[in-house]
């Protein structure tokens, strides 16, 4: 995926689109139709989790931020109004008049969790004397973000800052 282009500073910043929940994939297709990948890259962060239903275990993908699409672009007034014309986009998140870029520190942690397909896969952890140790996976080195572990559901809650607001997110884990 081309999100690494945006990570390495090709003079493009990250922004967030607020869209109708459940329509993220459709809006992302519209973005791909209207914008070349060299101009705009879009990501819908997803997390892989286990769900139990009727005794069977399924591995499902859920959106980390339902109703949001992350875009990396060189935002200007022309791009802004082109985005506003795309069906399904409610607004571009902002703190000022038109649009606000996501702070690099916030985006760093979100991108670090994602693989090339925009998915947060399972991390393998073990617990020793009430201390959580991540053996492998996207949470390796990010133990400080973890606030709660549910061994029965194989999930961990982490706190990520999103547009200046701390958000609790459930991620899938494998307990060793």
A 10 A CB-CB count for 79 gives 18
Compute CA distances 87 → 8, 61, 99, 108, whole Å: 30, 25, 18, 29
Average pLDDT over residues 39-53: 92
44-17-159 Cα angle (round to 5): 60
Q: What is the pTM of this model?
A: 0.87
pLDDT recorded at residue 68: 95
In degrees and rounded to multiples of 5, residue 11 shows phi and psi of 65, 30
Give the pLDDT band of residue 176 (cuts 50, 70, 90): confident
Helix (H) or strand (E) holding 93: none
Mean pLDDT score, 152-168: 90
Percent of the chain with pLDDT over 70: 94
163 touches 102 (CB < 8 A): yes
Q: Residue 8 — very low, low, confident or very high, per pLDDT cuts 50/70/90?
A: very low
The 10 Å Cβ neighbour count of residue 136 is: 13
3-175 CATH choice from 3.40.50.300, 3.40.50.12780, 3.30.70.940, 3.10.20.30:
3.30.70.940
User: Mean pLDDT throughout 38-63?
Assistant: 91
Domain parsing of the chain, residue ranges = 3-175
Write out pLDDT tens, residues 102-124.
988 899 999 999 998 999 999 99
Give me the mean pLDDT over the 49-62 stretch: 89
């Amino acid at each position: 995926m081309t999100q690494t282009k945006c990570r390495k500073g090709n003079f493009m910043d990250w922004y967030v689109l607020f869209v109708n929940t459940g329509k993220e994939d459709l809006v992302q297709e519209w973005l791909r139709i209207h914008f070349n990948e060299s101009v705009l890259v879009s990501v819908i962060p997803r997390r892989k989790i286990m769900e139990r239903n009727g005794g069977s275990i399924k591995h499902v993908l859920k959106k980390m931020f339902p109703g949001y699409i992350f875009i990396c672009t060189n935002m200007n007034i022309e791009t802004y109004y082109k985005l506003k014309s795309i069906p399904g986009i409610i607004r571009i998140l902002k703190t000022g008049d038109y649009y606000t870029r996501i702070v690099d520190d916030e985006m760093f942690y979100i991108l670090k969790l994602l693989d090339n397909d925009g998915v947060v896969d399972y991390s393998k952890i073990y617990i020793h004397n009430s201390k959580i140790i991540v053996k492998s996976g996207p949470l390796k080195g990010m133990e400080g973000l973890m606030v709660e572990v549910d061994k029965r559901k194989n999930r961990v809650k982490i706190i990520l800052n999103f547009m200046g607001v701390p958000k609790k997110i459930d991620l899938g884990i494998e307990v060793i």
